[in-house]
A = this chain, B = another copy of it.
Amino acid sequence: MSYDIGKNFTVRISGTSHGANVSCEIIGIPEGTVIDVSKVKKFLLRRAPGRSSLTSLRREPDDPVFESGLRDGVSDGGALKIVIPNSDARSSDYEKLKDTPRPSHADYTAWVKYKGSMDMAGGGPFSGRMTAPLCAAGAVALQMLESKGIYIGAHLLSVGDQHDEKYPLFPDRELLERSAAKEIPALSEDAEMRFRETIRKAMEDGDSVGGIVECAVTGMPAGIGGPMFGGMEGAISYAVFGIPGVKGIDFGSGFDAAGMRGSECNDPFTAECGWITTSTNNSGGIQGGITNGMPVVFRTAFKPTPSISLPQRTVSLSRMEDEILTIEGRHDPCIAVRAVPVVEAAAAIAVLDMMMEESDQYDSQ
């Protein structure tokens, strides 16, 4: 069991959905680092529920308290602790779920693992609420990366059977930030409309729908990462699979690369004005586990929200008999929507941690 990530910029996530708060604690921020608290708050709002009629109605102000590690907006070199109080308290809805686990949810597996001891109210430690402190830590990492000229953005690439365009070879900062302001964080307006319609329809049907998030990291210096288990893909994927609902990840052309020939997939190098780039980016900015200076690009697949209001087949754990379950309450019909900033946060944490491994890169002010 691990709520920790990172070796140099280490993040610990704590709390549960139904407890007093959720929090993150970051160890490894150099003393003297300026952290803009208002930017952290703003970033959290992108993930917060209740922003749209197409997301959960649960109302959480998600107002972070900086408990330690910061003096007048500057890191003191100690652990940075950010606490996010839970205001929308424990629902009694979960009592009835104890005996009839929700399909494709963690109810059953947690019941086996913890032998029934774990309080799964609100999803317990499996709750999407745990991504709020992950976003707080990510918002700090994003600021630290920005001070090095590294920018991270993500957008909804698909919802159900509807697709948006991919990022271009060199997405600029404006493009990376474009989706942030949107209720449905697509790149194109056309896709936004189609995504909205797809989600609305799933909602009307008491159903849910999956989606893919594309994420890009620009401004990465070449030379970050390493061979084998020290690779950039491994670090990012480990962080991203920490987000509930993720079922797949690929880098650059990813699964499409498996259908290509080498002559098509290899990224030709080219030298321009003393700068080495590649004219395509099927590698997703990573070769041999190490960044090559091109944007790091990856896609993350989110499954549809498992909580739907349609009747579903499950079992009674006490009677070991098949049952029909109808879940009440209002859930996000598409978790991929609010997951967009969470993917950015996970990427930022993994990338910053790798940057700090190369001390000469990170310190070279």
Which stretch in A87-95, A122-130, A183-191 binds the other chain? A122-130
Residue among A265, A310, A316 having the largest count of chain B Cβ atoms under 10 Å: A265
Interface contact A228-B13, CB-CB below 8 Å = yes
- Bound Cα distance from A165 to B247, whole angstroms: 20
Check if A25 is an interface residue, CB within 8 A of chain B: yes
- Report the contact-size class of chain A (Cβ under 8 Å from the partner): 35 or more
Residue of B nearest to A208 (CB): B262
- With A117-B71, A229-B5: A288-B249 Cβ-Cβ less than 8 Å: no
Contacts of A78 in B (CB 8 A): 1, 16, 114, 118, 124-125
Q: How many copies does the complex hold?
A: 4
Residue of B nearest to A158 (CB): B258
Interface contact A247-B16, CB-CB below 8 Å = no
Interface contact B105-A250, CB-CB below 8 Å = no
Contacts of A75 in B (CB 8 A): 117
Interface contact A76-B119, CB-CB below 8 Å = yes
Check if A108 is an interface residue, CB within 8 A of chain B: yes
- Bound Cα distance from A302 to B253, whole angstroms: 10
Q: How far is the CB of A342 from chain B (nearest CB, A)?
A: 12
Q: How far is the CB of A361 from chain B (nearest CB, A)?
A: 10
Interface contact B287-A104, CB-CB below 8 Å = yes
- Bound Cα distance from A254 to B250, whole angstroms: 11
Checking B67, B113, B257, B286 against A304 with a beta-carbon cut-off of 8 angstroms, the contacting residue is B257
Interface contact A242-B248, CB-CB below 8 Å = no
Check if A271 is an interface residue, CB within 8 A of chain B: yes
Checking B25, B119, B161, B292 against A12 with a beta-carbon cut-off of 8 angstroms, the contacting residue is B25
Contacts of A265 in B (CB 8 A): 104, 210, 303-304, 306
Q: 16 more A-B contacts (CB under 8 A) besides A1-B28, A15-B68, A274-B320? A: A1-B230, A79-B125, A103-B266, A104-B287, A105-B287, A112-B292, A202-B262, A205-B263, A209-B261, A210-B257, A247-B250, A247-B258, A249-B250, A250-B250, A260-B303, A271-B316
Contacts of A222 in B (CB 8 A): 108-109, 112-113
- Bound Cα distance from A248 to B304, whole angstroms: 20
- Bound Cα distance from A313 to B299, whole angstroms: 27
Check if A96 is an interface residue, CB within 8 A of chain B: no
Interchain residue pairs A-B with the least CB separation, the first 8 = A106-B288, A248-B250, A359-B359, A109-B290, A208-B262, A268-B313, A234-B241, A112-B223
Interface contact B242-A115, CB-CB below 8 Å = no
Checking B76, B161, B255, B336 against A212 with a beta-carbon cut-off of 8 angstroms, the contacting residue is B255
Check if A238 is an interface residue, CB within 8 A of chain B: yes
Check if A60 is an interface residue, CB within 8 A of chain B: no
Check if A291 is an interface residue, CB within 8 A of chain B: yes
Q: How far is the CB of A116 from chain B (nearest CB, A)?
A: 8
